[in-house]
Amino acid sequence: MTLPPLKLFLLFSLFSISFSHETPSSHDHHHVFPRPLILEYSELEEEVRLRCSSWRFAGEANNLSPWKTVPKECAEYVKEYMTGKGYVYDLEIVSKEAEEYAKSVQLNEDGLDAWIFDIDETLLSNLPYYAAHGFGLQVFDHAKFDDWVVKGVAPAIEPSLKLYEDVLNLGYKVILLTGRSEQHRAVTVDNLINAGFRDWHQLILRGSDDKGKRAVIYKSEKRSEMEKDGYRILGNSGDQWSDLIGSSLSVKSFKLPNPMYYIS
């Protein structure tokens, strides 16, 4: 798996030699080649990075068992991912692919072609909250999270806002389906509008009958009701597999990245 120190040393020496040959005009190639940086990038760090990347991939592919917190050794990795370009690029590609699909569908004239969006970590970002709570390292605290929700200041996830507007302009009926409670309707509406979202057709929150239901059951039931109302669910965007699987599935579903928490 790992190279013995001697081989590593030879590897770096070779890099230095080939580098100096390619730049004969360089007066002091030892300063040009970022040698100390490469040596500081230890094998252990690389191993952790690879293992955490495998963990994240397994999560995104829904191959992990239900999990409560980010593994301790991946705390720094997840923080780096969430605050760096990786998360943004992953969001952008989902948005772009969803838009391509949305544009490719010939909609009916009856106004019953629907696109479902989840809210948290799909349209609105709770990153400011999670940044203050270890980016998923801490066990989820409902009371503290609700304190954050009622502030109503979650920013838009920009690539999702773009998809949202494209989908609206194409003529889809936008239905918002969230695990947030009905008692947070007003603050959620204000937050969505302040973040730039508009003209949704329906906003469905957990009512008293939905309390205690697993998300996958609650969301499947709500999609079933949409179908009974005549809607054709053509697209569905969510950051949790429980937004997308179950029954009354969308024709096509789009999974946004989220390595911070898991909801079944």
Residue numbers at the binding site for Mg ion (CB under 5 A): 118, 120-122, 239
Rounded Cα gap, residues 76 and 135, in angstroms = 9
176 bridge partner residues: 117, 203
**Shortest distance, CB of residue 194 to Mg ion, whole angstroms?**
19
Map residue 68 onto helix, strand or coil: coil
Rounded Cα gap, residues 137 and 52, in angstroms = 13
CB closer to Mg ion out of 122 and 160 = 122
**Shortest distance, CB of residue 239 to Mg ion, whole angstroms?**
4
Using Cβ positions, the residue closest to Mg ion within the complex turns out to be: 120
**Shortest distance, CB of residue 232 to Mg ion, whole angstroms?**
23
Rounded Cα gap, residues 78 and 218, in angstroms = 29
Q: Could you give the C-alpha distances from 164 to 29, 63, 119, 146, in angstroms and in order?
A: 51, 28, 11, 25
**Shortest distance, CB of residue 118 to Mg ion, whole angstroms?**
4
CB closer to Mg ion out of 81 and 241 = 241
CB closer to Mg ion out of 90 and 239 = 239
CB closer to Mg ion out of 33 and 148 = 148
- Rg of the chain over all Cα atoms, to the nearest angstrom: 23
